Amino acid sequence: MTITIFLGSLLGAMLLGVPIAFSLLLCGAALMWHMNMFDAQILAQNTLEGANSFPLLAVPFFMLAGEIMNAGGLSRRIVNFAMTLVGHVRGGLGYVGIMAAVLMAALSGSAVADAAALAALLLPMMNRAGYDTARSAGLLASAAIIAPIIPPSIGFVVFGVAANVSISKLFMAGIVPGLMLGGALWITWWWLVRKEKIQPAPKASRAEVLVSLKDATFALVLPLIVVFGLKFGVFTPTEAAVVAAVYALFVSTVIYRELKVSQLYGLFVSAAQTTAIIMFLVAAAMVSAWMITVANLPQEVVTLLQPLLEHPKTLMFAIMVLTMVVGTAMDMTPTILILTPVLMPLVKAAGIDPVYFGVLFMINNAIGLITPPVGTVLSTVAGVGKVSMDAVTKGVWPFMVAEFALMFLMVLFPQLVMVPARWFY
């Protein structure tokens, strides 16, 4: 009965069009009413406690770093550098998009920010060169979702707080899977454009490559600072977010000089607005998470799925399918906040490494950003690139299938995630 109340109140509120954060509050209130312990003070206390988390300070700083990166010329220099390396091969602009997405993922941690930058910089170039618009938009959308996997990742911060898992370990474990996602897109793009007759750009000379590398050096140094700083314990993930934001601000204003002081207010406001949405979701989810624990809902789910606990791979497969279905109708952050309190007891009971689960769970949620009908990243690419939503949805399918295939390969072979992760630890 408790599970019915939980799902009925949450899904019912969402179907009525209630914003997800308020749906989570209503869900917690419904569980309290069902258990005859309704108290508005408990609602308020848990809401405040949900946002009162030091690791969550990383979110506004990573959001700000992403805003500064796009406005300060870091993104454009990364795209230019990738262009000099692979722009001359068949389908070269597609490979440029994948390389740029991987490099930019290590700067912002936000799929939406990277999608907007890639669509603005590369989609017009691909259209002028004669590439299929739908396919190009689909590639850029599917490449942008690498951002929540490669550190720094806002998604890993939210999951780490919700699941009480080391954010530093999640960051380190996400590096190789993120690169593998880029590899899967690379192979898929090669297969799709292998017979195209589009004239590639002229091959850049060694001097041009060196000039573009020099121009992008300060942008490329930031990921190294974050990764090595975390690996060697120089700073925590929260401190890494501050370092990223300050470094991006310094490079944009002092070295590249493309960001004016007058633009800072708008960037701060934009980052603050996005952060407020995420933080309110986290705060509202704490109410539901607390009530889920009090109502012993995780134990009911564990009992329900008891036969699968002896088969961790089968359980992981079932969880991934469930997350896929939820991801078609819900954005990444709400999915993390709603499912994590329910799934983590299952994961622990089955003896699955929480870091391994976190990486696959995040990959699944990231791909959910490009699954219709919601698909936040699809909407971003369509809006920025001035392409119809139907075209982007049509073009993204082969790349989305490749990413899901890689994810399930990681379910079958956990070593693909954990072996390199332990080296990075």
Q: What is the mean pLDDT of residues 161-176?
A: 90
Q: What's the pLDDT score for residue 114?
A: 85
Length of the chain: 425
At residue 62, what is the residue type?
Answer: F
Highest-confidence segment of 26-30, 193-197, 303-307, 416-420? 416-420
Confidence tier at 3 by pLDDT (50, 70, 90) = low
Query: If you search the block for the tokens 């990277």, which residue do you land on?
Result: 114
- Find out whether 391 and 136 touch, Cβ atoms under 8 Å: no
Q: Is the model's pLDDT at 425 over the cut of 70?
A: no
For residues 152 and 251, the model is more confident at: 251
Minimal CA–CA distance to 151: which of 215, 92, 224? 224
List all residues 6 or more positions away from 360 whose beta carbon is below 8 Å from its beta carbon: 316, 320, 407, 410, 411, 417
Structure tokens at 367: 């791909």
For a pLDDT cut of 70, what percent of the chain falls above it?
A: 95
